[in-house]
Structure 1
Amino acid sequence: FERETGRIKLETLSPSWLVFEDGFRQGWLRARAKRAFDVAVSLALLVLASPLMLLAALAIRLDSPGPVLFRQVRVGQHGRPFELLKFRSMRVDAEADGRPRWASRDDPRITRVGRLLRKARIDELPQLVNVLRGEMSFVGPRPERPEFVRELAARIPYYNERHRVKPGITGWAQICYGYTDSERDAREKLEYDLYYVKNYSLLFDLYVILRTVEVVLWGRGAH
């Protein structure tokens, strides 16, 4: 089932497997190779995408009041918090009441320019800086907000196992499942995240990147 579907059913996991078998343990060499790959790809993309990032920043500034960059605390590897960077795609009063909310595909809080940036995933480009800082990887489970992590970890078994690796700009769950805006979606997506945590490699990362490019350019697969 695991190899056929690209996911690990939560019902098949057990605490004893995590403790006494290989589980989701990460090898030193595999982690080093992934880090070298992340730095090389991120530096190259920052250089190549810098003109596009400047245009995006200008468009955001002209479209709506507020800062160009959006900064938000997310949960990283081993549960460590970090400040995630994105191009702002929502109104500055998106959470004026202080209540955290899931973002949805047709969220009315998204600005006109923000909708275009999200469709092409340009809003994620500032996270290349997070990768260079060592807070994120190019490929990995998407980082969630601490409020959502606490809630989901209390309701979904093995949820925190996804934090064994660094979060990513794109990921296996993103191309297989798409948006998450409910607890049910988060549970389904976790099964893809755990498959990635267990099986990641440079070849797997390259495959995920190619699938992401396919989604962005031709709209094939999940969004």
Structure 2
Amino acid sequence: MNIFGSAFAYIGDPANWSGPTGITARIVEHLGYSLLALVLSAVVAVPLGLAIGHARRGEVLLVGLVNALRSLPTLGVLTFLVLLLGLGLIPPMLALVLLGVPSVLAGTYAGVASVDPVVVDAARSMGMTETQVLTRVEIPNALPLILGGIRGGALQIIATATIAAYVNLGGLGRYIFDGLALGDYPRVVVGAILVAVLALAVDGLFALAVWASVPGTGRLRRPVVVTAP
């Protein structure tokens, strides 16, 4: 049996899905690392992107920051952080946050900055405060692009969260690093397949969220139920 046949046979065996080191547990660990990193990335990047997009100032700083963060090698950053902070969850989380921030920041800024200035000026002429303009006009219209940025960050984080296994944590990276260490290449393929499938599943969910958030479509509105008197 070739490498891919062995990998699919491993995935198809129900016995490999149970237990503390089974596929189910590894997927949950991988999603946990990814979700934590994505939330932290959003906490950092979304407010900054909203502020720059709303004020229409600081674009040069934004572009420089995004390009600088995208140029950082994640594994190199992780190695540096491990040497600086030691083993544990913090080094891979910081490395993944640095990976996720650029996409979220760029998407948030682009979404707010792309809102029609005529609509923004009309909101101000109606007496709305700057906070109301941002929350009631700019964010609802920018939501598809904001979610698109978060979607891009999520894909990058999920694909790279395998580095958690580099510092002896869990996740799907365990299959890759353990397989390489043991020369068990079907196990490496198992990890690669599961990461790819997980990324595609999450991407599909975000694609649905982006589709539902398009302004003017009413897709996010709850249907009105009319009951007979």
Q: TM-score, normalised by structure 1?
A: 0.28
Structure of greater Rg: 2
Q: TM-score, normalised by structure 2?
A: 0.28
Which has the larger strand fraction?
1
